[in-house]
């Protein structure tokens, strides 16, 4: 049973550019959440997708956007990159039907903005 | 809004000994979940243990157990018989027990197990 997968593993971008990160949820999961983890800090919630719609959003600017596809995979897009966007981006999946809401994390994408 | 505080940035323990990591949280919710996640250098966030707030009994998973004090809003993790593979960053996290909830994480505690 494949767990949560993310691509790419590492990414280097220049300020002002745009980036797309991808996530495939664990088999059987229908909800995808994205988190940003700056170096030495705990993850911060960006947003969550369920049934192809953004269901919740954290305190992140509109430069951060996302999408969920019919197969439940998801993308995180960041426009007009800033140096402060350098972080580990984690994707987590869960199944809305469990009533327990355990989230399973992928290995993350390390984004470096220069 | 919920907040989670881990007051120990770093801890160390000798192999085979017991160590306790502290976590406090603040919430006005009555129904919620608390989690401990482990993040080794590989970066993969791994669920260690879960506690439902409505359960009085403390959760246990093999060498890992929690001390959940709901009134004090405290949720500590005890690791018994520490192993070298336990070396990692440990995060305490809170989640409301409503559909579509998010995890709110603490700042983390770096645990080093020494041989």
Nearest-neighbour CA in chain A from B104: distance (Å): 7
How does pLDDT run along chain B (115 residues), one tens digit per residue? Answer: 889 999 999 999 999 999 999 999 999 998 899 999 999 988 889 999 999 999 989 999 999 999 999 999 999 999 999 999 999 999 999 998 876 779 999 999 999 999 9
pLDDT, residue A99, reads 60
What sign for the dihedral angle of Cα A8, A14, A19, A23?
positive
**pLDDT for position A35:** 98
Which pLDDT belongs to residue A98? 63
Q: Does the beta-carbon distance from B47 to A88 stay under 8 Å?
A: no
Neighbours of B30 (CB within 10 A): 10
- Enumerate the residues of chain A whose CB falls inside 8 A of the CB of residue B93: 42
The dihedral over CA atoms of A78, A82, A86, A87, expressed in degrees to the nearest 10, equals -50
Give the model's pLDDT for residue B2.
87
- Residues on chain B touching A44 (C-beta within 8 angstroms): 105
Judge contact between A76 and A84, C-beta under 8 A: no
What is the least distance, in Å, from the CA of B37 to any CA of chain A?
Answer: 10
Place of tokens 């059987």: A28
The beta-carbon neighbor of B108 closest among A31, A42, A88 is A42
Looking at residue A39, the DSSP 8-state letter turns out to be T
Q: What is the pLDDT of residue B98?
A: 79
Element (H, E) at A112: strand A109-113
Contact between B7 and B71 under an 8 Å Cβ cutoff? The reply is no
Q: Which residues of chain A have pLDDT under 70?
A: 1, 98-100
Which residue do the tokens 């998973």 mark?
B61
pLDDT > 90 fraction of chain B, expressed in percent and rounded = 83
Longest dimension (CA), chain A: 42
User: What is residue B77's predicted lDDT score, i.e. its pLDDT?
Assistant: 98
For residue B110, what is the nearest residue in chain A, using CA coordinates? A40
**What does the DSSP assignment read for A80-98?**
S--GGG-EEEEEEEE-TTS
Distances in Å between the Cα of A102 and the Cα atoms of A8, A60, B27, B41, B95 are 24, 23, 19, 22, 9
The pLDDT mean for chain B works out to: 94
């Amino acid at each position: 049973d494949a767990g949560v997968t993310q691509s790419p593993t590492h990414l280097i971008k220049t300020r002002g550019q745009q980036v797309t990160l991808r996530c495939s949820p664990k088999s059987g999961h229908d909800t995808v959440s994205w988190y940003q983890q700056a170096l030495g800090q705990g993850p911060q919630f960006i947003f969550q997708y369920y049934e192809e719609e953004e269901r919740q959003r954290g305190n992140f600017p509109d430069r951060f956007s996302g999408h969920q596809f019919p197969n439940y995979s998801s993308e995180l897009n960041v426009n007009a990159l800033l140096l402060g966007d350098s972080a580990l981006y984690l994707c987590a999946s869960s199944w809305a039907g469990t009533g327990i809401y355990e989230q399973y994390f992928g290995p993350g994408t390390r984004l470096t903005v220069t | 809004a919920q907040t989670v505080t881990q007051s120990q940035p770093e801890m160390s323990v000798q192999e085979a000994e017991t160590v306790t990591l502290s976590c406090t949280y603040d919430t006005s919710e009555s129904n919620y979940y608390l989690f401990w996640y482990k993040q080794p250098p590989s970066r993969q966030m791994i669920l260690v243990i879960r506690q439902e707030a409505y359960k009085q009994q403390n959760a246990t998973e093999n060498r890992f157990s929690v001390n959940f004090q709901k009134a004090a809003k405290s949720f500590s993790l005890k690791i018994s018989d520490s192993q070298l593979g336990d070396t990692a960053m440990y995060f305490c996290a809170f989640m409301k027990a409503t559909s579509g909830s998010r995890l709110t994480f603490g700042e983390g505690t770096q645990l080093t197990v020494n041989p």
